[in-house]
Chain A
């Protein structure tokens, strides 16, 4: 069994990014979209940690912890917006909300 190299990590990361992006763009339920965003963020995390390991530099890992913190905050805010939106519009579907239109 060949050892796991940097390339494997990067491939995993790229796959997660792709899945997340497609989820954000295609799914209509905002909960799913938020979950997809988590995927994207974690893809980034994997990337950071992989390079950290490869370069022997802990900066990347510290940065990853920041991203996780940030993701938590973002999820909290996003869910808050979602609940407010549902109270007002009785929907959680992104394409039914076009309040940002001119």
Chain B
């Protein structure tokens, strides 16, 4: 079978699943639609019955499962259908993707386009230079090493998370709705990564934003969830504005938005690298990067991602950790030819990435909500990826994206399993000592934490270490970027092991009534966890450091991506400048930082659990600042929500009352003034003239009217007299 020419099918499988769910799911669902606003009170009632569970929306699950055991009875047939169809569609996509990627590997140039039809066409357009170009965008798909990695991650991790959701969402109302949205998300994400031009990419880009919004607000009867959805949507719009401006600028300068053509033009030497000044290419790159900061939650547009944890945990894992938030990284990597020509913007990218990495990591240090720690961790790891992109190490960014997808999806799903076990509790202060009660979850999360901390041999080590090395050694890198990255690595290890210690070790702080119901999750959840754990161990081995001298598969990732970036040759040239011992030293240092971070966390939260409280008491202002996320949300509320919405309302109100209304009133006053003059003129001049005329006529009529007696004979007499007078006149003459 020729999978390569069928890559257009890959997004259509989940689209079919989504269409089935969203068009027919509601009709088939025999449950009362209590998840729908029609009966808003029903879920609230449930919440009141078992207060411990309302945090997480899969209300009543534990109590009912153990007490009644009948939960599965309702809608069993439909659920089985949904559980087969939706993950099945994603699995089909994965099979087609894997087939296509294998065939791609055999192509000499490793790039394959399938153009189905011209989607936007025939808009003549004056380019910046004055040349007339015709805007066109195909409904076309591009499979190259970069999109190959992305579709494998999206469909592979996506499939595991779908399977996990079968167990996780089993007791939720709106089961079909959840899977419909999830499949729709996979469709848009595949459109995003498979598109062969920026316009079609934007379709997927907006589509995943929509699905993200829908899934964050999945429990929309809860105000915080609905608000979080809105926040994500609005913040993303800010970035999207930058992105679409960037694409339009690109079209007006380059005359095309097709990846292949854009890269070809930019690499043809027609444009020179803007090393000296900030030119049009830099602006273009910066605008695209603004789009990426929105989607990939970089400072200053990261604020929506932590709030996005209001969505169900599988959503957090799939959309807000493994796939959608990496769309910005993918897009910047896709535009690598552009960013290579714009060192100024690349420096901005690296700085923003590094700053976001350490900034989010500091917040993660003190958060108590297990999902929020992971959310800030995600923001921080995405910062690493942008750091790599900024220093020109595109393949490393994609490598970290790849490994991060495994261990972060694992950690999120693990946290979902923990939350599931303790009945919807998300606060780590009410967990502890869960290690033996949920052993599979514990061991898989342990693997994920080791991987993200950067202990050698696991996935995170390889990618993170490569990023740090590139930040240090790349011509665009610097010691500062390296130091920030290194510090972040230490912080990462610390907050992950703080999470592990608070959740799994030490003394149990679980509420007694919940304690009795703690149970390991069903196989649909633990199997994906195990697979992801295996991935978190193995995924890094395809990108071992050059230093280790391993070849073939062990250093395959960079070679695989080489055609997509065509920059490896440049890197190889300068890499020789640093000697091998430097790299060994740096590697040792970063591992040491990770181990120190773990050790401190272990000491503070396990061996002497009173220490964090003491530090907290001593450094209360710092702790408060971190706990309140550096008050960025408050700042934004002050500046934008209140500043623009309310302050703007005040200003606009004053403007309305004084200027607009004043103008209207002034115009009214002027009209009245001129009308009163007009009245005077009408009364005295116009009417006066009319009345004067009539008066004159009347006056002159008095002498005449005397002869008008009305008597016929008088008239006859006048006639006779007149006739005689004529007669007399003629006779006398």
Q: Across the interface, do A102 and B708 meet the contact criterion of CB distance under 8 Å?
A: yes
Q: Across the interface, do A24 and B711 meet the contact criterion of CB distance under 8 Å?
A: no
In the assembled complex, the Cα of A28 lies from the Cα of B720 at a distance in Å of 17
In the assembled complex, the Cα of A14 lies from the Cα of B720 at a distance in Å of 14
Residues of A within 8 A of B709 (CB): 98, 101
**Which of B705, B710, B716 is A98 in contact with, Cβ under 8 Å?**
B710
Residues of A within 8 A of B720 (CB): 21, 25
Binary contact track A85-102/B, C-beta < 8 Å → 1, others 0 = 000000000110111111
* Closest partner residue, chain A, to B720 (CB atom): A21
Q: Which of B539-588 contact A (CB under 8 A)?
A: none
Residues of B within 8 A of A24 (CB): 713, 716
**Which of A94, A99, A102 is B705 in contact with, Cβ under 8 Å?**
A102
- Distance in angstroms from B731 CB to nearest chain A CB is 14
Q: Across the interface, do B712 and A94 meet the contact criterion of CB distance under 8 Å?
A: yes
- Is B1 engaged at the interface, CB distance under 8 Å to the other chain? no
Q: Across the interface, do B716 and A25 meet the contact criterion of CB distance under 8 Å?
A: yes
- Is B717 engaged at the interface, CB distance under 8 Å to the other chain? yes
Q: A21-B720, A25-B720 are in contact. Are A99 and B710 (CB under 8 A)?
A: yes
Q: Across the interface, do B711 and A98 meet the contact criterion of CB distance under 8 Å?
A: yes
Q: Which of A57-86 contact B (CB under 8 A)?
A: none
Q: Across the interface, do B711 and A95 meet the contact criterion of CB distance under 8 Å?
A: yes
In the assembled complex, the Cα of A98 lies from the Cα of B715 at a distance in Å of 11
* Closest partner residue, chain A, to B723 (CB atom): A21
In the assembled complex, the Cα of A101 lies from the Cα of B708 at a distance in Å of 6
Residues of B within 8 A of A99 (CB): 710
Residues of B within 8 A of A100 (CB): 708, 710-712, 715
In the assembled complex, the Cα of A40 lies from the Cα of B712 at a distance in Å of 17
Residues of A within 8 A of B716 (CB): 24-25
In the assembled complex, the Cα of A24 lies from the Cα of B712 at a distance in Å of 10
Q: Across the interface, do B708 and A95 meet the contact criterion of CB distance under 8 Å?
A: no
Residues of B within 8 A of A97 (CB): 710-712
What is the predominant secondary structure among interface residues of chain B facing chain A?
helix
Q: Which of B465-516 contact A (CB under 8 A)?
A: none
Q: Across the interface, do B713 and A94 meet the contact criterion of CB distance under 8 Å?
A: yes
Binary contact track B701-729/A, C-beta < 8 Å → 1, others 0 = 00001001111110111001000000000
Q: Across the interface, do B710 and A101 meet the contact criterion of CB distance under 8 Å?
A: yes
* Closest partner residue, chain B, to A27 (CB atom): B713
* Closest partner residue, chain A, to B704 (CB atom): A102
In the assembled complex, the Cα of A24 lies from the Cα of B717 at a distance in Å of 9
In the assembled complex, the Cα of A94 lies from the Cα of B711 at a distance in Å of 7
In the assembled complex, the Cα of A94 lies from the Cα of B709 at a distance in Å of 12
Residues of A within 8 A of B708 (CB): 100-102
Residues of B within 8 A of A102 (CB): 705, 708, 710
- Distance in angstroms from B425 CB to nearest chain A CB is 109
- Distance in angstroms from B497 CB to nearest chain A CB is 120
- Distance in angstroms from A8 CB to nearest chain B CB is 22
- Distance in angstroms from A24 CB to nearest chain B CB is 6
* Closest partner residue, chain B, to A99 (CB atom): B710
* Closest partner residue, chain B, to A37 (CB atom): B716
In the assembled complex, the Cα of A99 lies from the Cα of B711 at a distance in Å of 8
- Distance in angstroms from A99 CB to nearest chain B CB is 6
- Distance in angstroms from A23 CB to nearest chain B CB is 11
Residues of B within 8 A of A26 (CB): 713
In the assembled complex, the Cα of A95 lies from the Cα of B705 at a distance in Å of 18
- Distance in angstroms from A19 CB to nearest chain B CB is 13
* Closest partner residue, chain A, to B712 (CB atom): A94
Residues of B within 8 A of A94 (CB): 711-713
Q: Across the interface, do B705 and A25 meet the contact criterion of CB distance under 8 Å?
A: no
In the assembled complex, the Cα of A99 lies from the Cα of B708 at a distance in Å of 11
In the assembled complex, the Cα of A99 lies from the Cα of B712 at a distance in Å of 9
In the assembled complex, the Cα of A101 lies from the Cα of B709 at a distance in Å of 5
* Closest partner residue, chain B, to A28 (CB atom): B713
- Distance in angstroms from B625 CB to nearest chain A CB is 104
Residues of A within 8 A of B713 (CB): 24-26, 28, 33, 94-95
In the assembled complex, the Cα of A98 lies from the Cα of B709 at a distance in Å of 7
Residues of A within 8 A of B705 (CB): 102
Residues of A within 8 A of B711 (CB): 94-95, 97-98, 100
In the assembled complex, the Cα of A70 lies from the Cα of B229 at a distance in Å of 106
- Most chain-A Cβ atoms within 10 A of its Cβ — which of B708, B713, B716? B713
**Which of A25, A28, A98 is B717 in contact with, Cβ under 8 Å?**
A25
Binary contact track B254-292/A, C-beta < 8 Å → 1, others 0 = 000000000000000000000000000000000000000
In the assembled complex, the Cα of A88 lies from the Cα of B715 at a distance in Å of 23
Residues of A within 8 A of B710 (CB): 97-102
- Distance in angstroms from B712 CB to nearest chain A CB is 5
- Distance in angstroms from A55 CB to nearest chain B CB is 23
In the assembled complex, the Cα of A15 lies from the Cα of B436 at a distance in Å of 157
- Distance in angstroms from A45 CB to nearest chain B CB is 19
- Distance in angstroms from B173 CB to nearest chain A CB is 97
In the assembled complex, the Cα of A28 lies from the Cα of B715 at a distance in Å of 14
- Distance in angstroms from A4 CB to nearest chain B CB is 26
- Distance in angstroms from B664 CB to nearest chain A CB is 56
- Distance in angstroms from A86 CB to nearest chain B CB is 15
Residues of A within 8 A of B717 (CB): 25
In the assembled complex, the Cα of A101 lies from the Cα of B716 at a distance in Å of 14
In the assembled complex, the Cα of A18 lies from the Cα of B444 at a distance in Å of 147
In the assembled complex, the Cα of A5 lies from the Cα of B709 at a distance in Å of 44
- Distance in angstroms from A95 CB to nearest chain B CB is 6
In the assembled complex, the Cα of A10 lies from the Cα of B269 at a distance in Å of 130
Binary contact track A3-20/B, C-beta < 8 Å → 1, others 0 = 000000000000000000
Residues of A within 8 A of B715 (CB): 100
Binary contact track B675-719/A, C-beta < 8 Å → 1, others 0 = 000000000000000000000000000000100111111011100
In the assembled complex, the Cα of A43 lies from the Cα of B716 at a distance in Å of 18
- Distance in angstroms from A17 CB to nearest chain B CB is 11
A-B contacts, 15 of them at CB < 8 A, read A25-B713, A25-B720, A94-B712, A97-B711, A98-B709, A98-B711, A99-B710, A100-B710, A100-B711, A100-B712, A101-B708, A101-B709, A101-B710, A102-B708, A102-B710
Residues of chain A touching chain B, judged by Cβ–Cβ distance below 8 Å, are: 21, 24-26, 28, 33, 94-95, 97-102
Residues of chain B touching chain A, judged by Cβ–Cβ distance below 8 Å, are: 705, 708-713, 715-717, 720
Instruction: Please give 7 more A-B residue pairs, beta carbons under 8 A apart, in addition to A100-B710, A102-B705.
Output: A33-B713, A97-B712, A98-B710, A98-B711, A99-B710, A100-B715, A101-B709
Which 8 pairs, one residue from A and one from B, show the smallest C-beta to C-beta distance?
Answer: A101-B710, A98-B710, A100-B710, A102-B708, A94-B713, A102-B705, A98-B711, A25-B717
